[in-house]
Amino acid sequence: MRILTRVVVMLACACVALADAANTTTHDVAMHDGVVLKTDVYLPGKAADAYPAVLVRSPYPRAVVATQSANLTEKGFAVVVQDARGTGDSGGAFTGFLDDGWGTNRDGAETVAWIREQPWCDGNVGTMGGSAAGNTQVLLAPVTREVRCQIIEVAAYDFYRDLAYPGGVWRPEQSDAWFKMFGEKGEAARATLRAHPAYDELWVGLNAEVKAGDVAAPALHIGGWFDIFKDGTLRAFTSRQERGGEGAKGNQKLIMKWSGHGDYPKDLPLKFPENVFDVKVSKLRDRMLAYWLKGDGEIGDIPTVQYYVIGDDTRTGAPGMEWRTANRWPPFPPHTKSLYLYGQELQEAPPENFVTRTYTYDPADPCPTTGGCNLTIPFGPFDQRVLLERKDVLLFTGPALEAPVEMTGPVRLRLFVSTDAPDTDFCAKLIDIYPKGDDRHILALESIQRVKYRDGFEKPAPPLTRDEVVQIEIDLGSISWIFDKGHRVAILVSSSNYPHFEVNPNNGDDFPTMETMRKADNSIHMGPKFPSALIVPVRWPDLDTDGDGVPDEMEWNNGTDIRDVSSK
């Protein structure tokens, strides 16, 4: 819990920077059902009738936010900091985030309306914050057209996928630990979410992606490649940028950093250069707020997309470890390549023969989490060699690369699997294997898929029979990573990654109990009939599909007349 506490304090501090204000008051803001939300207001110490206001709504302590040194009030903003329902000094029941969006209770939208009615507000309201304070913004955005700008850092977007059940599997190290911070109230909220393991109406009410067309606010979206919400950040940007309502569409900005949900451990196996700090998020935040809330300055020179490309950390001159800019995400046309699993290898040619690899998965002895996108335990691009001696871990390795290979965009793994259990999980990790003499197996991506949700997350598929082979797809998410020459692309497959993901009891239940857990013999099938493959994004810089003399990449980035971006 010490790690989580440090992360919470850091993220709460990052939500907004405030110094001692000349005019600070505390208010009881009543919601439509009579519940009172405790709210602090900080006004600039300058003579003015009204100011643009910046709202921060969070379950974290208001006092932590209020004690920070960088002072938005000195920049002429009123700042409003509110305890979310059921937390801090606010009344009502804590439900996680069920009261922050478009449900029966609409606490965020009602608070915005209250702010705009105050004599110290000039009618312009923005929002900002990270982590939970980013989540409240995401859910607020579709409910009101009165938010002029949002600064959303490391936030969920589809809460089923991003916060609770990626691949249909509960996240104990993240969700269990987070709700525990709020005591009995948190346990009640946690129990509600655990009672909904399938994607149902509860989760529809926490999926901001389906409401993108109702959003009117410009925003700066900030994420990191090893953040717990990285793919939510990308989907928030793309859906609002491409399908947002008037005011939102075309007015989103994205920054994808090298980082995670907090500070990396000092002994991180992959070393980043100092240039990771070249993009100054706080300065861009201030410019966005000034432009959209005050009409001050210009933001046309801020790139639509800024993203960090990860690469080799040892070879001088190796590509990657640099910032890039683009006009959209992903920055390149969606061309893909399949790398087929065959025996212990990854190969470009489809396999000609049938091969099966089988291992025994025991939920009482799960494969331990080693780095990745974690909240409460060490996270980041960790070396995975410590896992290779386990008998329930399979490694598939490609040949040493003759030239660098870039993967920028979404990655997925298609597997043909069978099991002797009614249900089980398959986990996957994308690995960058360094050349001999170094031999690090650096984690780039990871994810999971519960077999019973292979046909969709709305309801379970029928239990498997012993000899039944089914196709599953593991969504590994997105990355920008260059595998340098001499490196090898690899996939690590297992059936557990605990406590990052909850263990599957192999009996069809959603959660394990010691009394009913059982072992499972799980198999991966490869061959002409079962083309298991890693499907990766590839760049073809010179490809000109429509033959007009302009490469596809340029047309894609400029949003011009590219007609065919079919995969090969």
Pick among 2.40.128.280, 3.20.20.370, 3.40.50.1820, 3.40.50.300: CATH of 2-158+206-326: 3.40.50.1820
Residues 120-149: tens digit of each pLDDT: 999 999 999 999 999 999 999 999 999 999
Residues 448-496: tens digit of each pLDDT: 999 999 999 999 999 999 889 999 999 999 999 999 999 999 999 999 9
Are 232 and 156 contacting, i.e. CB atoms less than 8 angstroms apart? Answer: yes
Are 59 and 87 contacting, i.e. CB atoms less than 8 angstroms apart? Answer: yes
Could you state, in order of their start, the residue ranges of all structural domains in the chain? 2-158+206-326, 336-537, 541-568
Structure tokens at 407: 């993967």
The confidence score (pLDDT) of residue 68 equals 45
State the average pLDDT for the chain. 93
The H or E element containing residue 125 is: strand 121-130
- Say yes or no: do domains 2-158+206-326 and 336-537 share a fold: no
The confidence score (pLDDT) of residue 466 equals 87
Could you tell me the CA-to-CA distances from 74 to 17, 67, 290, 416 in Å, in that order?
Answer: 11, 14, 12, 59
**Looking at the predicted structure, is the pLDDT value of residue 59 above 50?**
yes
Residues 360-400: tens digit of each pLDDT: 999 999 999 999 999 999 999 999 999 999 999 999 999 99
> In whole angstroms, what is the distance from residue 141 CA to residue 160 CA?
18
> In whole angstroms, what is the distance from residue 114 CA to residue 343 CA?
63
User: Count of residues for the chain?
Assistant: 568
Q: Choose between 318 and 562: higher pLDDT.
A: 318
Are 174 and 369 contacting, i.e. CB atoms less than 8 angstroms apart? Answer: no
Structure tokens at 494: 């297992």
> In whole angstroms, what is the distance from residue 458 CA to residue 423 CA?
16
Backbone angles phi, psi at 168, to 5 degrees: 85, 15
Of 40-54, 265-279, 301-315, the one with minimum mean pLDDT is 40-54
Backbone angles phi, psi at 79, to 5 degrees: -125, 130
Of 86-90, 453-457, 480-484, 537-541, the one with minimum mean pLDDT is 537-541
Mean pLDDT across 81-98: 97
Residues 320-372: tens digit of each pLDDT: 999 999 999 999 999 999 999 999 999 999 999 999 999 999 999 999 999 99
The confidence score (pLDDT) of residue 15 equals 42
Q: How far apart are the first and last CA of the chain?
A: 47
Any idea which architecture 336-537 has in CATH? Sandwich (2.60)
Q: What percent of the chain has pLDDT over 70?
A: 93
pLDDT tier, 45 (very low <50, low <70, confident <90, very high otherwise) = confident
> In whole angstroms, what is the distance from residue 208 CA to residue 222 CA?
17
The confidence score (pLDDT) of residue 48 equals 66
| DSSP-assigned letter for residue 528 | S
Mean pLDDT across 59-70: 68
Could you tell me the CA-to-CA distances from 342 to 170, 322, 350, 356, 561 in Å, in that order?
Answer: 31, 34, 9, 9, 39
Residue type, 295: G
**Looking at the predicted structure, is the pLDDT value of residue 2 above 90?**
no
pLDDT tier, 265 (very low <50, low <70, confident <90, very high otherwise) = confident
Backbone angles phi, psi at 535, to 5 degrees: -110, 115
Give per-residue burial for 110-141: e unless 16+ CB within 10 Å, then b. bbbebbeebebbbebbbbbbbbbbbbbbbbbb
pLDDT tier, 4 (very low <50, low <70, confident <90, very high otherwise) = low
